[in-house]
Chains A and B, each alone.
Chain A
Amino acid sequence: MTKILLIDDEPDILRVLSRSLRADGYEISTAASGTEGLSEFEHTPAEVVITDIKMPGMDGIEVLKRVKTMNADTEVIIITGHGDIDKAIEALQYGASDFINKPVRDEALSIALKRAGEKIDIRRRLKEYTQNLEGKIETATRELRRRTNFLSKLVRSSYEGIVATDEHLRIVVFNPGAERIFGHIQEEVLNSRSLSEILPEELTALFERAMNAEKAFKELPWREAAIRSKSGESIPVMFSGTILVEGSNKLGTVAFFQDLREIKKLQHELVHSERLAAIGQTVAGLAHGIKNILHGLKGGSYLVDVGIAKKNNEKLRKGWDMVKRAIERTSDLVMDLLSYSKERQAQYEPCAPNAIAAEVCDLVRGRAEQEHTELVCEFDPTIGQVLMDPHTLHTVLLNLLSNAMDACLFDQDTGKRWQVKVRTAAEPDRKLRFEVSDNGTGMSDEVKQKLFTSFYSTKGQRGTGLGMLVTHKLVEEHGGRIEVQTTFGQGTTVSVWLPYRTENQAA
């Protein structure tokens, strides 16, 4: 029920108006002067004040001002007499909601009250709405804070290293995972260092390119990389990056790092233990190889005995050759076994790969002529002096070249003109490709599958069954890779990629 305070110095008007308003359902209090009205208002605040404008002592304008000061939301309706129109306008300027003329007609009063009621209603709804909005903003802010906390905790507790930057690549997030990998603490880099100060050039360049690119490519996919920690240690990592974009604006970058040290260590141990296991498990294969060699020795010495007893020089010579071959085989087997079982790090030395390839070709040229196999060398003249392991290159090429010659020697298709080709080629990313191809027997699927299996040989007693295994191991130890393409009856191409270093990155 709306509360109305009626103020008029004429008791008759107070009586008549209050009666009619009560009848309309309003709660009415009355006052006979401005001063009385204000103290009543202070005591029980009304929502609507209806006041005569002309009163002795405090007039209606003054009442209006004071009421508005006490509660600006109160609606004040001014009752004006004839000739008070200037005052009425002044009242409106002071915030009166309406004025009605004397004599007060019920109809005019109810319209004025209705308007005042609507205003009150609107104001209340506005207030409710505002309060509601404030509440909503507070809730949203709380939720936002909660989520921000959650996200920052997430970033902090992630085991991955997370480094985020602003659009100028200045570091703004550096989580404990990143501290572990880079060795810097957050305080050393936050807001003071640039990404280029902690990342190698090529990774920083990726981000710079992504930030400057017209068309935003947002993701830098996972790749292996190495970063240098504060202490100077080179640390293998998996790395990926994202450009943070809002609309068409690039806000900054995030980089993620996974520490691969542990994994690399485990991989290394695994390879090592697999190699030991392979050796252990194939002792039987090794024993078989040795038994065959011993058989050859016994055979050789038997033939020598027969030759001596019968003074038969041919038997003597054949027996002695057999003994010598057995010694050769023993030596091959032991050398292969040693280089297979021994863990070795590539020894980078200045060398000319083309010269090494030529040297290896010279070693087999005599054999090639005997066996009517043409030896072709195609060396890339742009390859000069580099840093790589000459021993690795020499052994690998010699193994592959002897295999290629054997593939021609064992080929039963005598219509062929056998050819073995050795090629060298400079490749991007500081890599050299060495290719040895032949048009000999090629490999069946079975042989191809067992190519890198220990003690597997297609050369009968001539092979140790370790050659390709040793080759593979040397290539891996040099950080390279090997690929075999072969077609049964048509030939084989083995490609080896070996990385090299240049003088200025010798360290």
Chain B
Amino acid sequence: MGKKVLVVDDDPDVRLFNTTVVEENGYLPLEAENGEEGLQMIKSEKPDLVILDVLMPRQSGIRLYRELKTNASLRDVKILILSGIAKKTFLRSQQALTEFGENQVPEPEFYLEKPVDADVLAATIKKALG
């Protein structure tokens, strides 16, 4: 078994889809169903990649991303955002938080908008872990 990939999404169908793609491509899938649980697992399981949804109850992806990128020990965890929210909207909300006096965070390296095809998702995961 190779690298660990954590799927954070509140929708069980999305988790099933994403973890299956992860598994079929030879990685070890992990699941969390909200931002809070996601952060705990990142700390305890140290995944190599996090596939992160944006709109979730109990800490959104926007918050979790910010928390990861401003924490020195978690900053290097690779993140792939996979959301129904457009990248533009995600960036604008991050920018708004920065303007409210919070730390500047870098743009996510990998961003996919739902719906996404399994092969595109698989290719992006490979690229991120490559």
Q: Which residues from chain A sit less than 8 Å from chain B, CB to CB?
A: 287-289, 291-292, 294-300, 302-303, 305-306, 315, 318, 322, 325-326, 458, 460-462
Contact = CB atoms under 8 A, between A and B. Distances in A.
A462 B11 CA distance: 8
B17 A295 contact: yes
B21 A302 contact: yes
A411 to B, nearest CB: 13
Given A291-B115, A297-B115, A460 B21 contact: no
B13 interface: yes
Interface residues of B, number: 21
Identify which of A318, A326, A458, A461 gathers the most chain B CB atoms within 10 Å of its CB: A461
Contacts, number: 69
Interface of B: 10-11, 13-14, 16-18, 20-21, 24, 55-57, 84-85, 113-118
B16 A292 contact: no
Nearest to B21: A302
A306 B11 CA distance: 20
B89 to A, nearest CB: 8
Identify which of B16, B55, B117 gathers the most chain A CB atoms within 10 Å of its CB: B16
A461 B54 CA distance: 12
B40 to A, nearest CB: 15
A154 to B, nearest CB: 58
Nearest to A287: B84
Contacts of B85: 288
Contacts of B24: 306
Contact of B56 (A297, A298, A303, A460): A460
A298 B84 CA distance: 14
B13 A461 contact: yes
Given A291-B114, A460-B56, A296 B20 contact: no
A295 B115 contact: yes
A325 B115 contact: no
A299 B57 contact: no
A295 B116 contact: yes
Given A295-B17, A325-B13, 13 more contacts: A288-B84, A289-B84, A291-B113, A292-B114, A298-B115, A302-B17, A302-B118, A303-B16, A322-B16, A322-B17, A326-B13, A460-B57, A461-B10
B83 to A, nearest CB: 9
A303 B18 CA distance: 10
Contacts of B13: 296, 299-300, 322, 325-326, 461
A302 B16 CA distance: 11
A296 B114 CA distance: 9
Contacts of A458: 57
- The 5 A-B pairs of least Cβ separation, nearest first, read A299-B17, A294-B115, A295-B114, A295-B115, A461-B11
Nearest to A458: B57
Identify which of B10, B55, B114, B116 gathers the most chain A CB atoms within 10 Å of its CB: B114
Contacts of B117: 298, 302
A318 B11 contact: no
Nearest to A297: B115
Contacts of B118: 298-299, 302, 305
A41 B66 CA distance: 123
Identify which of A287, A295, A458, A461 gathers the most chain B CB atoms within 10 Å of its CB: A295
